Structure 1
Amino acid sequence: MGSDGMDVGFLGLGIMGIAMARNLLKRGFKVTVWNRSPAKCEELAKEGASIGSSPADVVKKCPITIAMLADPSVALSVALGPDGVVEGISPGKGYVDMSTVDSGTSSRIAEAVAAKGGDFLEAPVSGSKQPAEMATLIILAAGSKSLFDKVRPAFDAMGKKSFYLNDVGGGAKMKLVVNMIMGSMMAAFSEGLSLADKAGLSQQTLLEVLELGAMGNPMFKMKGPSMIDGKYTTAFPLKHQQKDMRLALALGDELAQSMPVAAAANETYKKARSLGLGDQDFSAVHQALAHEAANASDSAKAAA
C-alpha cells in the first residue's frame, strides 16, 4: 500500500528520527518536521520536507504526527509543554510516539491526548541507526487500533514489520523485555571474548565457531570484529542500555519475576558507566571486563 501523498508530521530528528523521516519522504509522504535545533530541519527541507514552528503547529497542520525523542523527560515536554502536541490536538487527529519510554510516561501522554479527543499510539522500535536508515525497524505499537490501521503505510515505509500489542503500555513493556535480553546477551558475549583471550585462544576463531552454530546471530557478527579491535562506534549508547536493564528489572520487581541473569548483566553495565563508557556503544561493556582482567594481572604482578 503506497502513501498516496499522505500528510505526516515528524518531531525529533536525532540519529533515528532523521533517518525515519527521510524514508517517509523517499516513499512519497508529505512530511512536516520540527526539531529543537533547527539545522536538521533545514537539511530535510532541501529533500522536500516542510518545517513547523512548534510541535503544536505541526499537529495542527497534519492529521497524524509521529515523534522520535530521546527519553521520557523530552517526550513529556514535547507532548505536554507550552506549544506542545496536546495544545494542537483536536478530535480526529492522531499522535504516534515512537520514543522508548516507560509505560507510565506513555499512559500520561495517552490520557492528555484522549482528553482533547485525539487518538494515541505508542510505537517504540527495535533496531538502532543502521536499521533506521535501511527501513528495517521492528515497530511495537499499542493504543488506538484505528490509528494503528491509519498509520500502517508510514510504518511500512520505516520498518520491516509492525506489531499491534493492545493497550498502551504493551509496546513499552515489550521493548524493555527485548532490550533486557539483548543487554544480557551482549554481557555474556563480552565475558566469552575476554575468557577466550585470557585462555590464549583466538577471539577471531571464537567468532567463527559461534557464527557456524545455533548461536550465530547478526549482533555477534556485526559487533564482534570491532569489539576485538577495541572500537565501539555508538549505534546505541551504553547508558541507554543500562537504563533499559534498570527499567526491565523494575518491571520484574513489580511482577515478582526472578531475573538473576539480567541483574548480574546490569551490574556489568553499571561498572562500565563508572569507567566513563556511558556515551560509547553498549558493546563497550566489553571494556569493563577487559579492565577487570588488566587490574587482576597488575595485582598479581604487585604480589609477585
Structure 2
Amino acid sequence: MTQTIGFLGTGRMASAMIIRSLKQGYAVQVWNRSTAKTEPLVALGAKACATPADAVRNADIVISFMADDSGAEAVWLGVDGALSAMKPETLAIECSTLSHGFVLELSAKITAAGSAYIDAPVTGVPADIQAGNTVFLIGADNAVLDRARPFMNAVGKQIVHFGPIGSGTVYKLMHNLLGAVHIAAAAELVAVAQKAGLDGDLVAETFANGANASMSGKITVPGMVSGNHHEGIHFTTGLRAKDASYAMQLATDMGMSLPVGRAASDVFVKATSDGFGDLAQSAVIETLKTN
C-alpha cells in the first residue's frame, strides 16, 4: 500500500524533497503558510491542505521544514497544529535546523502524545535534494530510525546516525557554524582584494582552485565579486545568522565560548540587521565593506 507523507512547509528544501517523494511514488499532502507556493507542487500531484493538522491527518510519515523554532512550534503545537491530528505511531521527522534545546522540548511532547520523533536535519542544496542526494543527520532511537529507513533510502543517499534525539542537531548546528566561518573569512579576502584593486574574477578563480577553498566559499565568492546577491539563492544570510546563533547558544549551554564561531556569528547577525537577511549569503560582504 502506498504510504502517505505529510509535509509541513514548502520552502526551497522542502519543495525539492516533495518533488523527490512524488517521483518515488509516495502520496503527498502539503501545507504552507503561503498557499501560492503549493501550486507548482499540486500540479505535480501533491494535495494542498488548509492547515498543518489537515496535512498530517492519516499520514504515515510527517516531515517538517520550518525556518526556526517559532515556526516549528506553530506548525506542530499551535492552533490546528500537526500534533493535534496525527494518528498514533506516526513517524514525525523534523528536518528543520532548530535550536538544540527546542528539539529536546519538541521531541518530548511528540513522543508523549504517542508518535515517534526523529531529529533529522539535512545537508545539500535544493538541486541535490531533488536528485535524491539528501544526507540525513540523525538523532533517534535505533528502532524508530529503522522504521524511517525505507523512506529515507528512497529519497536520499545517506543516513548518518549520530546517536539519540538531539545529536543530529548538534552536528548540523556546528556544521552550519563552520560554514559561517568559511563564508565570513572568504568575504574578508574578497573585500580586501577589491579595495586593493585586484581583478575580481581572477580572485574568484584563484580562490576556487586554492588549498583554502571550501564548498561554502566556492558557492558564495562569485556573488561577492559580482555584487549579485539576489539570484540563485540557495540559503539566505538571515538563515545562516539564525543557525549560527543557535550554534552559539548550544556552545554556551555546554560551557564553551568558541571565539572563532562567535566572530562569524556576529558578522552574519550584523549583516541581517543591516537589511541583507533575505539575500544570498554572499551579501555578508556588504556589511564587511562598511565596517
- Give me the whole-angstrom Cα distance separating, in 2, the residues matched to 1:161 and 1:95: 19
- Give me the whole-angstrom Cα distance separating, in 2, the residues matched to 1:243 and 1:114: 26
Offset at residue 157 of structure 1 (A): 4.1
- Give me the whole-angstrom Cα distance separating, in 2, the residues matched to 1:267 and 1:83: 36
1:205-216 matches, within 5 Å, as 205-216=202-213
- Give me the whole-angstrom Cα distance separating, in 1, the residues matched to 2:171 and 2:10: 24
* Residue matched to 2:147: 150
- Give me the whole-angstrom Cα distance separating, in 2, the residues matched to 1:278 and 1:54: 27
* Residue matched to 1:117: 114
* Residue matched to 1:274: 273
Offset at residue 39 of structure 1 (A): 3.1
Q: Which has the higher contact order (CA 8 A, sep 6+)?
A: 2
1:9-158 matches, within 5 Å, as 9-158=6-155
Q: Secondary structure of 2:163's partner?
A: coil
Name the % identity. 33
Q: Assess if the C-alpha contact under 8 Å between 2:7 and 2:28 holds in 1.
A: yes
The structure-2 alpha-carbon separation of the partners of 1:20 and 1:201, relative to structure 1 and needing over 3 Å to count, comes to same
Q: Assess if the C-alpha contact under 8 Å between 2:19 and 2:41 holds in 1.
A: yes
Task: Answer with 72-81 or 180-189: which moved more.
Answer: 72-81
Name the amino acid aligned to 2:239: H
- Give me the whole-angstrom Cα distance separating, in 2, the residues matched to 1:56 and 1:268: 38
* Residue matched to 2:258: 259
Q: Secondary structure of 1:9's partner?
A: strand
The structure-2 alpha-carbon separation of the partners of 1:51 and 1:194, relative to structure 1 and needing over 3 Å to count, comes to closer
- Aligned CA-pair RMSD: 2.1
Offset at residue 264 of structure 1 (A): 1.7
Task: Answer with 150-159 or 182-191: which moved more.
Answer: 150-159
- Give me the whole-angstrom Cα distance separating, in 2, the residues matched to 1:284 and 1:96: 32
* Residue matched to 2:198: 201
Question: What is the aligned counterpart of 1:185 among 179, 182, 185?
Answer: 182
- Give me the whole-angstrom Cα distance separating, in 1, the residues matched to 2:254 and 2:174: 13
Offset at residue 101 of structure 1 (A): 0.9
Normalised to the residue count of structure 2, the TM-score between the two structures is: 0.90
Offset at residue 133 of structure 1 (A): 3.6
Q: Runs of 4 or more off by more than 6 Å in structure 1? A: none
- Give me the whole-angstrom Cα distance separating, in 2, the residues matched to 1:46 and 1:283: 33
Higher-Rg member (1/2): 1
Q: Secondary structure of 1:61's partner?
A: coil
Q: Secondary structure of 2:45's partner?
A: coil
Is 2:214 the counterpart of 1:217?
yes
Q: Assess if the C-alpha contact under 8 Å between 2:30 and 2:49 holds in 1.
A: yes
Name the amino acid aligned to 1:197: Q
List gaps (5 residues or longer) in structure 1.
293-304
Offset at residue 25 of structure 1 (A): 0.3
Q: Assess if the C-alpha contact under 8 Å between 2:52 and 2:82 holds in 1.
A: yes
Task: Answer with 133-142 or 74-83: which moved more.
Answer: 133-142
Name the amino acid aligned to 2:185: A
Q: Assess if the C-alpha contact under 8 Å between 1:124 and 1:141 holds in 2.
A: yes
Q: Secondary structure of 1:99's partner?
A: coil
Q: Assess if the C-alpha contact under 8 Å between 2:100 and 2:246 holds in 1.
A: no
Q: Assess if the C-alpha contact under 8 Å between 1:176 and 1:247 holds in 2.
A: yes
The structure-2 alpha-carbon separation of the partners of 1:54 and 1:268, relative to structure 1 and needing over 3 Å to count, comes to closer
The structure-2 alpha-carbon separation of the partners of 1:187 and 1:75, relative to structure 1 and needing over 3 Å to count, comes to same
The structure-2 alpha-carbon separation of the partners of 1:274 and 1:35, relative to structure 1 and needing over 3 Å to count, comes to closer
Name the amino acid aligned to 1:48: G
Normalised to the residue count of structure 1, the TM-score between the two structures is: 0.86
- Give me the whole-angstrom Cα distance separating, in 2, the residues matched to 1:180 and 1:208: 25
Offset at residue 163 of structure 1 (A): 1.3
Task: Answer with 181-190 or 128-137: which moved more.
Answer: 128-137
Q: Assess if the C-alpha contact under 8 Å between 1:90 and 1:116 holds in 2.
A: no
The structure-2 alpha-carbon separation of the partners of 1:174 and 1:238, relative to structure 1 and needing over 3 Å to count, comes to same
Give the number of aligned pairs: 289
